[in-house]
Structure 1
Amino acid sequence: QTANAGLWLNKFLDKKGDKDTTAKPTLVKEVVDKASNQELQSLYGKFFVRWKQALKDYGVKEEHTRKAKVCGRMVVGLGSESVLETSVMLHHTYGVPYIPGSALKGLARHFAGEKRVDGWEAEHTKVVFGNDKKSDDTTAGYITFFDALYVPPQNGTERFLHADVMTVHHGDYYMKENIPPTDWDDPTPIPFLSATGIYLLALAGPEDWINPTFKLLELALKEEGIGAKTSSGYGRMKFI
Protein backbone atom coordinates (compact mmCIF):
# COMPACT_ATOMS: atom_id res chain seq x y z
CA GLN A 1 0.00 0.00 0.00
CA THR A 2 2.82 2.46 0.83
CA ALA A 3 5.36 1.49 -1.85
CA ASN A 4 6.36 4.66 -3.66
CA ALA A 5 5.60 5.12 -7.35
CA GLY A 6 9.25 4.83 -8.39
CA LEU A 7 9.73 1.49 -6.65
CA TRP A 8 6.49 0.16 -8.12
CA LEU A 9 7.47 1.28 -11.62
CA ASN A 10 10.99 -0.17 -11.51
CA LYS A 11 10.34 -3.48 -9.80
CA PHE A 12 6.81 -4.73 -10.33
CA LEU A 13 4.96 -6.03 -13.38
CA ASP A 14 2.15 -8.51 -12.94
CA LYS A 15 2.46 -10.21 -16.31
CA LYS A 16 0.36 -13.30 -16.97
CA GLY A 17 2.01 -14.51 -20.17
CA ASP A 18 3.58 -13.21 -23.36
CA LYS A 19 0.22 -12.36 -24.90
CA ASP A 20 -1.01 -10.35 -21.92
CA THR A 21 -1.82 -6.84 -23.17
CA THR A 22 -3.27 -5.44 -19.93
CA ALA A 23 -0.31 -5.70 -17.53
CA LYS A 24 1.59 -2.61 -18.67
CA PRO A 25 -1.40 -0.23 -18.88
CA THR A 26 -2.47 -1.51 -15.47
CA LEU A 27 0.98 -0.84 -14.04
CA VAL A 28 0.96 2.71 -15.41
CA LYS A 29 -2.42 3.36 -13.75
CA GLU A 30 -1.18 1.88 -10.46
CA VAL A 31 1.92 4.10 -10.50
CA VAL A 32 -0.24 7.19 -11.10
CA ASP A 33 -2.50 6.22 -8.20
CA LYS A 34 0.41 5.54 -5.85
CA ALA A 35 1.99 8.88 -6.69
CA SER A 36 -1.21 10.54 -5.46
CA ASN A 37 -1.00 8.85 -2.04
CA GLN A 38 -1.56 11.54 0.59
CA GLU A 39 0.78 9.98 3.17
CA LEU A 40 3.68 9.72 0.73
CA GLN A 41 3.15 13.25 -0.54
CA SER A 42 3.16 14.49 3.05
CA LEU A 43 6.50 12.76 3.68
CA TYR A 44 7.91 14.27 0.52
CA GLY A 45 6.76 17.72 1.61
CA LYS A 46 8.90 17.40 4.75
CA PHE A 47 11.86 16.21 2.68
CA PHE A 48 11.47 19.18 0.34
CA VAL A 49 11.80 21.57 3.29
CA ARG A 50 15.03 19.80 4.31
CA TRP A 51 16.28 19.96 0.71
CA LYS A 52 15.79 23.73 0.59
CA GLN A 53 17.69 24.05 3.86
CA ALA A 54 20.49 21.88 2.45
CA LEU A 55 20.75 24.23 -0.55
CA LYS A 56 20.94 27.18 1.82
CA ASP A 57 23.65 25.48 3.87
CA TYR A 58 25.59 24.89 0.66
CA GLY A 59 25.50 28.61 0.00
CA VAL A 60 22.63 28.84 -2.48
CA LYS A 61 20.74 32.08 -1.86
CA GLU A 62 17.00 32.45 -2.44
CA GLU A 63 17.71 34.65 -5.46
CA HIS A 64 19.80 31.83 -6.92
CA THR A 65 16.69 29.68 -7.36
CA ARG A 66 13.82 29.81 -9.83
CA LYS A 67 10.52 28.00 -10.11
CA ALA A 68 9.57 26.59 -13.49
CA LYS A 69 6.18 25.19 -14.46
CA VAL A 70 5.63 22.46 -17.04
CA CYS A 71 3.54 23.68 -19.97
CA GLY A 72 1.54 20.58 -20.78
CA ARG A 73 3.48 17.36 -20.08
CA MET A 74 7.13 16.41 -19.53
CA VAL A 75 8.97 13.09 -19.96
CA VAL A 76 12.48 12.89 -18.51
CA GLY A 77 14.15 9.47 -18.47
CA LEU A 78 11.94 7.83 -21.11
CA GLY A 79 14.75 5.50 -22.20
CA SER A 80 15.81 4.45 -18.70
CA GLU A 81 15.70 0.77 -17.75
CA SER A 82 12.26 -0.29 -16.54
CA VAL A 83 9.86 -3.21 -16.51
CA LEU A 84 7.98 -1.14 -19.08
CA GLU A 85 9.47 -0.38 -22.50
CA THR A 86 9.47 3.23 -21.34
CA SER A 87 10.20 4.98 -18.07
CA VAL A 88 10.19 8.32 -16.29
CA MET A 89 12.69 9.87 -13.86
CA LEU A 90 11.31 9.44 -10.33
CA HIS A 91 12.98 10.13 -6.99
CA HIS A 92 14.28 6.82 -5.64
CA THR A 93 12.98 7.36 -2.10
CA TYR A 94 9.79 9.36 -2.58
CA GLY A 95 8.67 8.45 -6.09
CA VAL A 96 8.08 12.00 -7.34
CA PRO A 97 9.38 13.31 -10.69
CA TYR A 98 12.51 15.42 -10.82
CA ILE A 99 14.91 16.79 -13.43
CA PRO A 100 18.58 15.80 -13.04
CA GLY A 101 21.00 18.71 -12.88
CA SER A 102 23.03 17.04 -15.62
CA ALA A 103 20.00 17.20 -17.94
CA LEU A 104 19.51 20.91 -17.25
CA LYS A 105 23.19 21.61 -17.81
CA GLY A 106 23.24 19.60 -21.03
CA LEU A 107 20.16 21.39 -22.37
CA ALA A 108 21.56 24.83 -21.57
CA ARG A 109 24.94 24.04 -23.11
CA HIS A 110 23.38 22.62 -26.26
CA PHE A 111 21.13 25.66 -26.58
CA ALA A 112 24.08 28.02 -26.13
CA GLY A 113 25.93 26.25 -28.94
CA GLU A 114 23.04 25.88 -31.38
CA LYS A 115 21.10 29.13 -30.94
CA ARG A 116 22.06 32.77 -31.17
CA VAL A 117 21.40 34.24 -27.74
CA ASP A 118 21.76 38.00 -27.42
CA GLY A 119 24.89 38.88 -25.48
CA TRP A 120 26.06 35.27 -25.14
CA GLU A 121 29.55 34.59 -26.48
CA ALA A 122 31.58 31.41 -26.94
CA GLU A 123 33.82 32.45 -24.06
CA HIS A 124 30.75 32.59 -21.80
CA THR A 125 30.03 28.95 -22.62
CA LYS A 126 33.52 27.97 -21.56
CA VAL A 127 33.21 29.89 -18.28
CA VAL A 128 29.80 28.50 -17.33
CA PHE A 129 30.08 24.93 -18.58
CA GLY A 130 33.81 24.33 -18.76
CA ASN A 131 35.92 23.13 -21.65
CA ASP A 132 35.62 19.39 -22.24
CA LYS A 133 37.86 19.32 -25.30
CA LYS A 134 41.02 17.28 -25.00
CA SER A 135 43.54 20.06 -24.74
CA ASP A 136 45.97 21.60 -22.30
CA ASP A 137 43.45 24.21 -21.13
CA THR A 138 40.69 21.83 -20.00
CA THR A 139 38.70 23.53 -17.24
CA ALA A 140 35.62 22.90 -15.13
CA GLY A 141 32.63 25.20 -15.42
CA TYR A 142 31.97 27.87 -12.81
CA ILE A 143 28.28 27.02 -12.39
CA THR A 144 26.83 24.04 -10.51
CA PHE A 145 23.42 22.81 -11.69
CA PHE A 146 21.41 21.10 -8.95
CA ASP A 147 18.64 18.58 -9.55
CA ALA A 148 15.31 20.36 -10.04
CA LEU A 149 12.89 18.94 -7.50
CA TYR A 150 9.12 18.93 -7.71
CA VAL A 151 7.55 21.68 -5.60
CA PRO A 152 4.74 20.21 -3.45
CA PRO A 153 1.48 22.17 -3.10
CA GLN A 154 0.95 24.21 0.05
CA ASN A 155 -2.19 22.29 0.98
CA GLY A 156 -3.49 18.85 0.06
CA THR A 157 -2.17 16.65 -2.72
CA GLU A 158 -1.63 17.11 -6.43
CA ARG A 159 -1.61 14.68 -9.33
CA PHE A 160 1.80 15.13 -10.95
CA LEU A 161 2.02 11.83 -12.90
CA HIS A 162 -0.29 10.99 -15.78
CA ALA A 163 -0.96 7.97 -17.96
CA ASP A 164 0.05 8.64 -21.56
CA VAL A 165 0.35 6.54 -24.69
CA MET A 166 2.37 6.49 -27.90
CA THR A 167 1.43 4.37 -30.89
CA VAL A 168 3.91 2.45 -33.04
CA HIS A 169 2.38 1.80 -36.47
CA HIS A 170 5.09 -0.35 -38.09
CA GLY A 171 6.63 -2.45 -35.31
CA ASP A 172 8.10 -5.17 -37.53
CA TYR A 173 9.69 -2.57 -39.80
CA TYR A 174 11.50 -0.97 -36.86
CA MET A 175 12.48 -4.20 -35.11
CA LYS A 176 13.33 -6.60 -37.96
CA GLU A 177 15.36 -6.47 -41.14
CA ASN A 178 13.97 -6.71 -44.68
CA ILE A 179 10.35 -6.14 -43.65
CA PRO A 180 8.88 -3.05 -45.34
CA PRO A 181 6.13 -0.99 -43.68
CA THR A 182 2.61 -1.55 -45.03
CA ASP A 183 -0.76 0.14 -44.68
CA TRP A 184 -2.23 -2.93 -42.99
CA ASP A 185 0.30 -3.17 -40.14
CA ASP A 186 -1.38 -3.33 -36.75
CA PRO A 187 -0.70 -0.26 -34.57
CA THR A 188 0.80 -1.04 -31.18
CA PRO A 189 -0.09 1.29 -28.30
CA ILE A 190 2.74 1.72 -25.77
CA PRO A 191 1.78 3.16 -22.38
CA PHE A 192 4.13 5.54 -20.62
CA LEU A 193 4.14 8.10 -17.83
CA SER A 194 4.41 11.85 -18.17
CA ALA A 195 4.79 14.51 -15.50
CA THR A 196 3.40 17.95 -14.74
CA GLY A 197 3.90 20.42 -11.92
CA ILE A 198 6.27 23.12 -10.71
CA TYR A 199 9.99 22.47 -10.14
CA LEU A 200 12.63 24.30 -8.12
CA LEU A 201 15.78 25.09 -10.11
CA ALA A 202 18.94 26.06 -8.23
CA LEU A 203 22.39 27.19 -9.33
CA ALA A 204 25.62 27.83 -7.44
CA GLY A 205 28.67 29.76 -8.54
CA PRO A 206 30.03 33.29 -8.97
CA GLU A 207 27.34 35.91 -8.45
CA ASP A 208 27.91 37.60 -11.82
CA TRP A 209 27.23 34.39 -13.75
CA ILE A 210 24.05 33.18 -12.01
CA ASN A 211 21.51 35.46 -13.71
CA PRO A 212 22.96 35.09 -17.25
CA THR A 213 22.88 31.31 -16.84
CA PHE A 214 19.28 31.41 -15.64
CA LYS A 215 18.32 33.55 -18.64
CA LEU A 216 19.94 31.01 -20.96
CA LEU A 217 18.19 28.14 -19.20
CA GLU A 218 14.85 29.96 -19.30
CA LEU A 219 15.10 30.36 -23.07
CA ALA A 220 16.18 26.75 -23.54
CA LEU A 221 13.28 25.38 -21.49
CA LYS A 222 10.80 27.62 -23.28
CA GLU A 223 11.98 27.07 -26.86
CA GLU A 224 13.60 23.62 -26.87
CA GLY A 225 12.04 21.82 -23.91
CA ILE A 226 13.68 19.15 -21.80
CA GLY A 227 13.50 15.36 -21.87
CA ALA A 228 11.96 13.15 -24.54
CA LYS A 229 9.36 13.86 -27.23
CA THR A 230 10.13 17.58 -27.35
CA SER A 231 9.33 17.56 -31.09
CA SER A 232 5.78 16.57 -30.07
CA GLY A 233 5.47 19.46 -27.64
CA TYR A 234 6.57 17.75 -24.45
CA GLY A 235 9.04 19.25 -22.00
CA ARG A 236 8.34 22.97 -22.44
CA MET A 237 8.61 24.94 -19.20
CA LYS A 238 8.19 28.57 -18.17
CA PHE A 239 9.64 30.46 -15.22
CA ILE A 240 7.04 31.75 -12.76
Structure 2
Amino acid sequence: MSTKPQSKPACAEHQLSEAALVAAARLRDEAAVRELIRRLNGRLFRIARGLMTSDAEAEEVVQDAYLAAFTHLDGFREEARFSTWITRITLNCAAMRLRKAREQQEYDTIKDPALPNAEVVLFPGTEAEPTEAALGRMQTRALIEAAVAELPPDLRLVFLMHEASGLSLRDIARDLSLPLGTVKTRLMRARHRLRRIITDRIHGGFETIFPFAGSRCAVMADAVVALLKERQELIRGSD
Protein backbone atom coordinates (compact mmCIF):
# COMPACT_ATOMS: atom_id res chain seq x y z
CA MET A 1 0.00 0.00 0.00
CA SER A 2 1.56 3.24 -1.16
CA THR A 3 1.39 6.37 0.90
CA LYS A 4 1.42 9.92 -0.38
CA PRO A 5 4.23 12.16 0.84
CA GLN A 6 2.98 14.52 3.48
CA SER A 7 3.02 18.14 2.47
CA LYS A 8 4.60 20.70 4.76
CA PRO A 9 1.96 22.66 6.72
CA ALA A 10 1.50 26.23 5.52
CA CYS A 11 2.48 27.60 8.93
CA ALA A 12 5.53 25.37 9.36
CA GLU A 13 7.94 28.27 8.83
CA HIS A 14 6.46 30.03 11.87
CA GLN A 15 7.62 27.13 14.03
CA LEU A 16 11.16 26.87 12.68
CA SER A 17 14.13 28.25 14.57
CA GLU A 18 16.06 31.17 13.20
CA ALA A 19 18.98 28.89 12.33
CA ALA A 20 16.69 26.54 10.40
CA LEU A 21 15.19 29.44 8.48
CA VAL A 22 18.64 30.75 7.59
CA ALA A 23 19.66 27.29 6.39
CA ALA A 24 16.59 27.20 4.15
CA ALA A 25 17.24 30.74 2.96
CA ARG A 26 20.72 29.67 1.89
CA LEU A 27 18.91 27.25 -0.45
CA ARG A 28 16.85 30.19 -1.77
CA ASP A 29 13.68 29.08 -0.06
CA GLU A 30 11.26 31.98 -0.55
CA ALA A 31 9.04 31.03 2.37
CA ALA A 32 12.02 31.03 4.72
CA VAL A 33 13.15 34.45 3.50
CA ARG A 34 9.65 35.84 3.97
CA GLU A 35 9.43 34.44 7.47
CA LEU A 36 12.80 35.91 8.46
CA ILE A 37 11.68 39.28 7.14
CA ARG A 38 8.40 39.02 9.04
CA ARG A 39 10.22 38.29 12.28
CA LEU A 40 12.82 41.02 11.85
CA ASN A 41 10.81 43.86 10.32
CA GLY A 42 9.86 45.58 13.55
CA ARG A 43 13.29 45.36 15.11
CA LEU A 44 15.20 46.55 12.04
CA PHE A 45 12.80 49.36 11.22
CA ARG A 46 13.04 50.79 14.72
CA ILE A 47 16.81 50.60 14.60
CA ALA A 48 16.90 52.33 11.22
CA ARG A 49 14.36 54.91 12.36
CA GLY A 50 16.59 55.63 15.33
CA LEU A 51 19.18 57.01 12.90
CA MET A 52 17.20 58.32 9.94
CA THR A 53 15.02 61.42 9.92
CA SER A 54 11.97 59.97 8.18
CA ASP A 55 10.01 56.75 7.92
CA ALA A 56 10.69 56.53 4.17
CA GLU A 57 14.46 56.70 4.70
CA ALA A 58 14.26 54.09 7.43
CA GLU A 59 12.31 51.72 5.19
CA GLU A 60 14.89 52.17 2.44
CA VAL A 61 17.66 51.35 4.91
CA VAL A 62 15.89 48.17 6.01
CA GLN A 63 15.35 47.16 2.40
CA ASP A 64 19.02 47.76 1.66
CA ALA A 65 19.94 45.63 4.67
CA TYR A 66 17.73 42.74 3.58
CA LEU A 67 19.14 42.83 0.06
CA ALA A 68 22.71 42.93 1.35
CA ALA A 69 22.11 40.09 3.80
CA PHE A 70 20.21 37.72 1.55
CA THR A 71 22.53 38.22 -1.42
CA HIS A 72 25.61 37.62 0.74
CA LEU A 73 24.49 34.80 3.01
CA ASP A 74 27.79 33.08 2.27
CA GLY A 75 29.37 35.82 4.37
CA PHE A 76 27.31 34.83 7.41
CA ARG A 77 29.59 32.51 9.39
CA GLU A 78 27.09 31.84 12.18
CA GLU A 79 29.50 33.09 14.80
CA ALA A 80 26.57 35.16 16.05
CA ARG A 81 22.81 35.01 15.58
CA PHE A 82 21.49 36.00 12.17
CA SER A 83 19.41 38.74 13.81
CA THR A 84 22.59 40.19 15.30
CA TRP A 85 24.41 39.98 11.98
CA ILE A 86 21.65 41.72 10.03
CA THR A 87 21.32 44.34 12.78
CA ARG A 88 24.93 45.33 12.15
CA ILE A 89 24.26 45.39 8.40
CA THR A 90 21.31 47.71 9.03
CA LEU A 91 23.47 50.03 11.11
CA ASN A 92 26.09 50.05 8.34
CA CYS A 93 23.47 50.79 5.66
CA ALA A 94 22.10 53.66 7.72
CA ALA A 95 25.59 55.04 8.30
CA MET A 96 26.34 54.89 4.57
CA ARG A 97 23.16 56.78 3.71
CA LEU A 98 23.85 59.42 6.33
CA ARG A 99 27.39 59.84 5.05
CA LYS A 100 26.21 60.21 1.46
CA ALA A 101 23.57 62.71 2.54
CA ARG A 102 26.19 64.82 4.35
CA GLU A 103 28.49 64.71 1.35
CA GLN A 104 25.65 65.76 -0.94
CA GLN A 105 24.72 68.63 1.36
CA GLU A 106 28.31 69.85 1.43
CA TYR A 107 28.49 69.59 -2.35
CA ASP A 108 25.24 71.48 -2.93
CA THR A 109 25.83 73.87 0.00
CA ILE A 110 22.13 73.51 0.69
CA LYS A 111 20.80 72.55 4.06
CA ASP A 112 17.40 70.89 4.00
CA PRO A 113 14.85 72.28 6.46
CA ALA A 114 14.20 70.28 9.60
CA LEU A 115 11.12 68.11 9.70
CA PRO A 116 9.21 69.37 12.75
CA ASN A 117 6.39 66.90 12.26
CA ALA A 118 8.53 63.81 11.71
CA GLU A 119 7.00 60.78 13.34
CA VAL A 120 8.29 57.39 14.39
CA VAL A 121 5.78 54.82 13.20
CA LEU A 122 5.95 51.44 14.82
CA PHE A 123 6.36 49.25 11.75
CA PRO A 124 4.27 47.61 10.53
CA GLY A 125 1.27 49.84 11.21
CA THR A 126 -1.94 48.60 12.74
CA GLU A 127 -5.43 49.45 11.63
CA ALA A 128 -7.17 51.91 13.88
CA GLU A 129 -10.58 51.10 15.28
CA PRO A 130 -13.13 53.88 14.91
CA THR A 131 -13.69 54.18 18.66
CA GLU A 132 -12.91 56.84 21.24
CA ALA A 133 -10.54 54.46 23.00
CA ALA A 134 -8.68 53.82 19.73
CA LEU A 135 -8.54 57.56 19.04
CA GLY A 136 -7.07 58.15 22.48
CA ARG A 137 -4.42 55.52 21.89
CA MET A 138 -3.57 57.05 18.51
CA GLN A 139 -3.21 60.52 20.04
CA THR A 140 -1.01 59.22 22.84
CA ARG A 141 1.14 57.31 20.38
CA ALA A 142 1.44 60.34 18.13
CA LEU A 143 2.59 62.44 21.11
CA ILE A 144 5.21 59.87 22.11
CA GLU A 145 6.41 59.27 18.55
CA ALA A 146 6.81 63.00 17.90
CA ALA A 147 8.75 63.34 21.16
CA VAL A 148 11.02 60.41 20.27
CA ALA A 149 11.64 61.96 16.85
CA GLU A 150 13.07 65.05 18.59
CA LEU A 151 15.77 63.05 20.38
CA PRO A 152 19.32 63.26 19.03
CA PRO A 153 20.10 60.22 16.84
CA ASP A 154 22.48 58.61 19.35
CA LEU A 155 19.86 58.76 22.12
CA ARG A 156 16.96 57.89 19.84
CA LEU A 157 18.71 54.78 18.55
CA VAL A 158 19.45 53.35 21.99
CA PHE A 159 15.96 54.19 23.22
CA LEU A 160 14.23 52.48 20.29
CA MET A 161 16.48 49.43 20.44
CA HIS A 162 15.74 48.96 24.14
CA GLU A 163 12.17 50.18 24.62
CA ALA A 164 10.63 49.41 21.22
CA SER A 165 12.62 46.39 20.08
CA GLY A 166 13.17 44.87 23.51
CA LEU A 167 16.93 44.39 23.21
CA SER A 168 18.93 44.12 26.40
CA LEU A 169 21.51 46.77 27.23
CA ARG A 170 24.29 44.23 26.73
CA ASP A 171 22.97 43.30 23.28
CA ILE A 172 22.78 46.96 22.33
CA ALA A 173 26.32 47.56 23.55
CA ARG A 174 27.51 44.60 21.51
CA ASP A 175 25.62 45.58 18.34
CA LEU A 176 26.77 49.21 18.51
CA SER A 177 30.29 48.38 19.71
CA LEU A 178 29.84 50.67 22.70
CA PRO A 179 30.78 50.28 26.37
CA LEU A 180 27.84 49.08 28.46
CA GLY A 181 28.12 52.20 30.62
CA THR A 182 27.71 54.43 27.56
CA VAL A 183 24.55 52.61 26.54
CA LYS A 184 23.10 52.96 30.05
CA THR A 185 23.91 56.67 30.09
CA ARG A 186 22.34 57.28 26.68
CA LEU A 187 19.18 55.42 27.67
CA MET A 188 18.90 57.43 30.87
CA ARG A 189 19.44 60.71 29.00
CA ALA A 190 16.88 59.69 26.39
CA ARG A 191 14.27 59.04 29.08
CA HIS A 192 14.98 62.34 30.81
CA ARG A 193 14.73 64.27 27.54
CA LEU A 194 11.51 62.53 26.58
CA ARG A 195 9.98 63.36 29.94
CA ARG A 196 10.93 67.01 29.47
CA ILE A 197 9.68 67.15 25.87
CA ILE A 198 6.34 65.56 26.72
CA THR A 199 5.92 67.76 29.79
CA ASP A 200 6.56 70.88 27.69
CA ARG A 201 4.06 69.74 25.07
CA ILE A 202 1.23 69.12 27.49
CA HIS A 203 2.00 72.07 29.77
CA GLY A 204 -1.20 74.05 30.17
CA GLY A 205 -3.06 71.57 28.02
CA PHE A 206 -4.66 69.34 30.62
CA GLU A 207 -8.02 70.97 29.98
CA THR A 208 -8.12 69.09 26.69
CA ILE A 209 -8.09 65.60 28.19
CA PHE A 210 -11.26 63.62 28.95
CA PRO A 211 -13.36 65.92 26.76
CA PHE A 212 -17.07 65.99 27.40
CA ALA A 213 -18.51 68.47 24.96
CA GLY A 214 -20.63 68.69 21.86
CA SER A 215 -23.42 66.15 21.53
CA ARG A 216 -22.30 64.26 24.62
CA CYS A 217 -22.68 67.40 26.70
CA ALA A 218 -26.09 68.16 25.19
CA VAL A 219 -27.39 64.65 25.80
CA MET A 220 -26.26 64.77 29.43
CA ALA A 221 -27.92 68.17 29.96
CA ASP A 222 -31.19 66.95 28.44
CA ALA A 223 -31.19 63.83 30.59
CA VAL A 224 -30.52 65.69 33.85
CA VAL A 225 -33.13 68.35 33.13
CA ALA A 226 -35.73 65.69 32.31
CA LEU A 227 -35.04 63.87 35.58
CA LEU A 228 -35.21 67.08 37.62
CA LYS A 229 -38.52 67.95 36.05
CA GLU A 230 -39.91 64.52 36.89
CA ARG A 231 -38.93 65.11 40.51
CA GLN A 232 -40.36 68.62 40.38
CA GLU A 233 -36.99 70.10 41.12
CA LEU A 234 -37.43 72.45 38.16
CA ILE A 235 -40.27 74.73 37.25
CA ARG A 236 -41.99 73.23 34.24
CA GLY A 237 -42.87 76.69 33.04
CA SER A 238 -39.18 77.09 32.06
CA ASP A 239 -39.76 74.74 29.07
TM-score range, shorter chain: under 0.3
The two structures have a TM-score, normalised by structure 2, of: 0.25
Q: Which one has a larger percent strand, Structure 1 or Structure 2?
A: 1
Q: Quick one: higher RCO (CA 8 Å, sep 6+), 1 or 2?
A: 1
More helix by share: 2
